[in-house]
Every structure is written in C-alpha cells, then in structure tokens.
Amino acid sequence: MITNRYHEPVLVAETIELLVRMPGVYVDGTLGGGGHSLAMLRELRRKGFSDESLLIGIDRDDNALREARRKLSSSGGNAVLVKGNFSDISRLVRRVCNEKGLAASAAGILLDLGVSSAQIDTPERGFSYLREGPLDMRMDADSEPSAADLLNTMSESELSTLFFRYGEEPRSRGIARDIVAYRAHHGAVARTEELAAIIRKREFRPDRAIKTLSRVFQALRIAVNHELEALEQALEESASLLCSHGRLAVISYHSLEDRMVKSFFADRSHSDWGPKGVGLREPLKKAAFDVVTRKSVVAGQQELLLNPRARSARLRVLEKQAEGDCGDPK
Ligand SMILES: C[S@@+](CC[C@H](N)C(=O)[O-])C[C@H]1O[C@@H](n2cnc3c(N)ncnc32)[C@H](O)[C@@H]1O
C-alpha cells in the first residue's frame, strides 16, 4: 500500500472508476499532494489512453504544487501543473490547452474540496485549534486577508454573522461578543491558542467545546479563502468545460459545500416540462446533464479504519449529455 505523508486522498478507487472513462483532457482542480492526480494518470495508462490524454493540475497553494510536482515527476504521465484558483478554472484550462494545441474541453474534472492534511497539520498555517500558531488560514500565501485580519477588524455583528453563516454555530453571538471584549483588553487576537481559549472559556463541556471550536475555525477558513464563492463559480465553469459524456466529480466535507453541489447538480439535470397537466411532448428546456450518483458515495469501513478524514467525505458526479467531440466512453 502507498502511504501519502502529505495527504492521504479519499475515495480514490470510487472517484477513478466514475471519472476516468475515455481519453481526453482531465483537470484536477484541487491538486493537493497529487494523490488523485497520480491515480488518474495511472488509470489513463492502464486503459491505454495516455498518449491521447493530458492532466491539468491546479492548486492555489505553492507547497501543494511543489509536493505534487515531486510525486508526479516519475509517473511518466502527461501533466501540466499550474498555480491558480479553481474559480478561474475556465481561463486556466483554456490557457494550457491553447499552449498544447488542444480543444479546451474536459473529459473529466475533479474538485476535492477543503484543505489537505499537510495544511491542517502545519502549525504556522493556523488552520487548526489543535496546533499553536498564527491565525493565518490562507491557502494562497499571496492572498489577503488572514484569519487574524478578519478577527481584528470585523465588528461584533459581522463576526457573529460569519460564525453563523459559515459555521452554523448556534452560539455565534456570544462568541463574537467574547472576541470583541478580548480585543479591547489585549489589543488583538493573533494566535490559534488565544482564539481556542476564548471559545473554551464560554463552553465548559469538553465535547461541546470541540464541536464549537471546529465550527468557528471552519467558518473563519471559509471566509478567509472565499470558499463558497469559489465553489459556486467553479461549478458553473466546470460544467461548461465538459465535453460529451465528460464528468464532473466533487468531493465535499461539510454540509454547506455538499448542499451547494447537490442543488447545482439537481438544477443542471432538471428538464422543464412547464405547468403540470399541459402534457408537452418536448420539455420547454431540456436538461444537458445527468446526475450519475443518485446518492452521494461515501467511504467504506476499510477506508474509514485507515483514514479517519474520509468520515465526512461525500462524492457526487455529474455527466454532460452527448453533444461535443471528445469520443465515447469505453
Ligand atoms: C483536500 S485537498 C486535495 C487533496 C488531493 N486530492 C490529493 O490527492 O492530495 C484540497 C486542496 O485544494 C486546494 N484548494 C482549495 N480550494 C482551492 C481553490 N479555490 N483553488 C485552487 N485550489 C484550492 C487546497 O490548497 C488543497 O491543496
């Protein structure tokens, strides 16, 4: 078994089986440590599609790109890795395809959302309440603001809204009040352990404190990295990049993301038959996509034992109906 110290990818076999079915351009919009990308390249080779295929890997974190470059360097596959935000997936893919003289349409796109284990486990990145470090949380170190910037400049009501909207935290108001009071006494909240202490002071029961800490840290991370806005944009752009029978696979880790993916897939696979009882022979608007995974795919017992991170992972896949020019799945 291959172990990935940077990040153990989840649902690899399930993702590859549903995604890699014909030669063409494959896009990994969340390259991370390159685990899924490597598996895609291997599957393309196994199926004899390597010569007619290209993998484009995207990540906004320089460390991820470095790690993925190292991992994929000996794969022998045809891959181009670029730094960028998947909200910009259309432009990034068009640029690479233009350079390679290929049509900018994708046979498969993967978005494995959220952060990698390496990002969470590095104290200086500030993603985890379990690691002491600066409250940074930026996936792209060149972007702004950091989590500390938000915590120290937002008003009490803005903070409360942030914790409620992105963390679904029921005690958002009280936590926002405590943060503003802490700022008044200490000047600023700068480190993960300071924020964790503020939250623990309000929540005495350890089991409840852990849930609150997770929700507040998640909310800050989502806001710092504009995660939901990026996902909304990426879903739209990815759908339009797909060729005939091309598939979009999304792995999400919390309900806010999963709800967005589910409702986007439902919307794109819905034909409009007009008001009930009219009995049209053709729909007013015909759906251009089919949902491949009626229910989300989740990890099996075996994977859960080896990789606890897979616990919250949900995979959903959407397929573009026949139309374009990239061949039929084999
Ligand atoms: C869960 S990890 C992906 C792990 C990867 N599938 C693997 O096999 O190692 C998510 C990765 O997506 C990146 N990421 C998250 N949001 C992004 C965005 N909007 N644009 C580009 N990369 C993003 C993160 O930096 C992180 O490296």
Q: Do 113 and 232 sit in the same domain of this protein?
A: yes
Can you give the pLDDT at residue 79? Answer: 97
| Residue 68 CB–ligand 1 contact under 6 Å | no
Is the pLDDT reported for residue 66 higher than 80? yes
In order of 9, 90, 118, the CA distances from 106 in angstroms are 22, 10, 29
Contacts of 163 (CB under 8 A, 6+ apart): 169, 172, 175, 176, 215, 216, 219
Can you give the pLDDT at residue 273? Answer: 84
* Any domain includes 7: no
Is the pLDDT reported for residue 330 higher than 50? no
Q: Do 154 and 207 sit in the same domain of this protein?
A: yes
Q: Do 56 and 188 sit in the same domain of this protein?
A: no
Of 193, 224, 255, which marks where a domain is finished?
224
Can you give the pLDDT at residue 1? Answer: 44
Q: Do 170 and 244 sit in the same domain of this protein?
A: no
| Residue 87 CB–ligand 1 contact under 6 Å | yes
- The number of CA neighbours under 13 Å toward the Cβ of 110 is 33
Output the residue whose Cα is nearest ligand 1's atom 27.
32
Q: Specify the higher pLDDT residue, 222 or 203.
A: 222
Three-class SS state of 113: coil
Q: Do 51 and 105 sit in the same domain of this protein?
A: yes
Provide mean pLDDT across the span 224-229. 98
Q: Do 218 and 258 sit in the same domain of this protein?
A: no
Computed over its alpha carbons, how large is the radius of gyration of the chain? 21
Q: Do 29 and 113 sit in the same domain of this protein?
A: yes
In order of 2, 42, 80, 100, 115, the CA distances from 37 in angstroms are 14, 9, 11, 19, 16
Q: Do 112 and 233 sit in the same domain of this protein?
A: yes
Q: Do 250 and 291 sit in the same domain of this protein?
A: yes
Can you give the pLDDT at residue 147? Answer: 98
- What is the domain range of residue 160? 144-224
Can you give the pLDDT at residue 195? Answer: 98
Q: What is the pLDDT of residues 172-181, one digit of tens each?
A: 999 999 999 9
| Residue 310 CB–ligand 1 contact under 6 Å | no
Confidence band of 329 (pLDDT split at 50, 70, 90):
low
Q: What is the pLDDT of residues 306-317, one digit of tens each?
A: 999 999 999 999
* Any domain includes 325: no
Compute, in angstroms, the gap from residue 113 CA to the centroid of ligand 1: 6
Q: Do 73 and 200 sit in the same domain of this protein?
A: no
Interatomic CA distance for residues 210 and 270, integer angstroms: 40
Compute, in angstroms, the gap from residue 116 CA to the centroid of ligand 1: 7
Q: How many domains does the chain have?
A: 2
| Residue 15 CB–ligand 1 contact under 6 Å | no
Cβ–Cβ < 8 Å for 329, 21? yes
Is the pLDDT reported for residue 327 higher than 70? no
Going by C-alpha positions, the residue among 248, 319, 318, 300 that lies closest to residue 10 is 300
| Residue 268 CB–ligand 1 contact under 6 Å | no
Looking at 207-221, 232-246, 276-290, which range is the least confident one? 276-290
Q: Do 210 and 235 sit in the same domain of this protein?
A: no
Q: How many Å from the N-terminal Cα to the C-terminal Cα in the chain?
A: 28
CATH of the domain at 205: 1.10.150.170
Q: Which of 59, 70, 312 to mutate to test the pocket of ligand 1 (most atoms within 8 A of CB)?
A: 59
Going by C-alpha positions, the residue among 77, 69, 9, 10 that lies closest to residue 43 is 77
* Any domain includes 243: yes
Atom number, ligand 1, closest to the C-alpha of residue 28: 6
Q: Which of 12, 28, 31, 91 to mutate to test the pocket of ligand 1 (most atoms within 8 A of CB)?
A: 31
Q: pTM for the complete prediction?
A: 0.94
Cβ–Cβ < 8 Å for 90, 57? no
Q: Which of 139, 257, 309, 315 to mutate to test the pocket of ligand 1 (most atoms within 8 A of CB)?
A: 139
- Give the mean pLDDT of the chain: 94
Q: What is the pLDDT of residues 131-142, one digit of tens each?
A: 999 999 999 999
* Any domain includes 136: no
Confidence band of 3 (pLDDT split at 50, 70, 90):
low
Can you give the pLDDT at residue 74? Answer: 85
Is the pLDDT reported for residue 328 higher than 50? no
Can you give the pLDDT at residue 177? Answer: 98
CATH of the domain at 45: 3.40.50.150
Atom number, ligand 1, closest to the C-alpha of residue 4: 9
Q: Do 252 and 289 sit in the same domain of this protein?
A: yes
Q: What are phi and psi of 283, to 5 degrees?
A: -70, 155
Identity of the residue numbered 164: F
Compute, in angstroms, the gap from residue 260 CA to the centroid of ligand 1: 17
Can you give the pLDDT at residue 21? Answer: 98
